[in-house]
Chains A and B, each alone.
Chain A
Amino acid sequence: MTVEVTFWSYFADLAGAASGKFDVPVGTSVEELLGSVYRSHPRLSALRNSTLVAVGVEYQGGSYLLQPGDAVSLFPPVQGG
């Protein structure tokens, strides 16, 4: 399946794109997907410890298993207010 990953805030600058598409098997974990993302966008990997991950509009951890239709977002710590 193809998973669309959106990069928010300065992650888009580091990735050089607002989003990317990744082909992974159904049931791939978020952690495994991140491995693919970091291979394609190595500048993001330096920030992996502070990276937040959402699937749809909910935060998810690395063990979340991706299903068809899931939209993944990666972003830095939030700064509202």
Chain B
Amino acid sequence: MKQEILITTEAIDGPALAAARASGPGMGAVVHFLGVVRGSEEGASIAAIDYTAFVPMAEAQFRKLLDEAARRWPLESVRVVHRLGVVRVGEPSLWMEVVSPHRAEAFDACRWIIDEMKRVVPIWKRAVPVVP
């Protein structure tokens, strides 16, 4: 399975990432997921979230997750982009693409990778309050 992991302070350009997809003729499902910063955190309005990470470990843990996903489902490729630094409300912090022959495994793998990411990939967030 092809895999790409990018942890970056650059803004996520979902359409450009999607346009760069290369998949074979046997692939019938492409699931894209975009995680976007919400305008509130624990009931309080926020302006942004400041993401930090232990990058080498985050990359290593993502690789392990994607390897495990490839054992569980017949995936052709997974691409993951996680943004670091200040991400304003409404902007994407996470982009993911899962390509597989059929939709069920693409949806299941996408959800599983995100659930596991939230458990093991060392990325943290700090809410940036709205300045009155």
Contacts and interface: CB of A to CB of B under 8 A. Distances in A.
Contacts of A75: 54, 122, 124
B119 interface: yes
B93 interface: yes
B94 A59 contact: no
B86 to A, nearest CB: 15
Q: How large is the interface on A (under 10, 10 to 19, 20 to 34, 35 or more residues)?
A: 10 to 19
Interface in B58-100: 58-61, 82, 93-94
A80 B94 contact: yes
A78 B56 contact: no
A10 B122 CA distance: 13
B117 interface: yes
B52 A78 contact: no
B124 A81 contact: no
Contacts of B6: none
Interface of B: 35, 51-54, 56-61, 82, 93-94, 114, 117-126
Interface of A: 6, 8-10, 52, 54, 56-59, 73, 75-76, 78-81
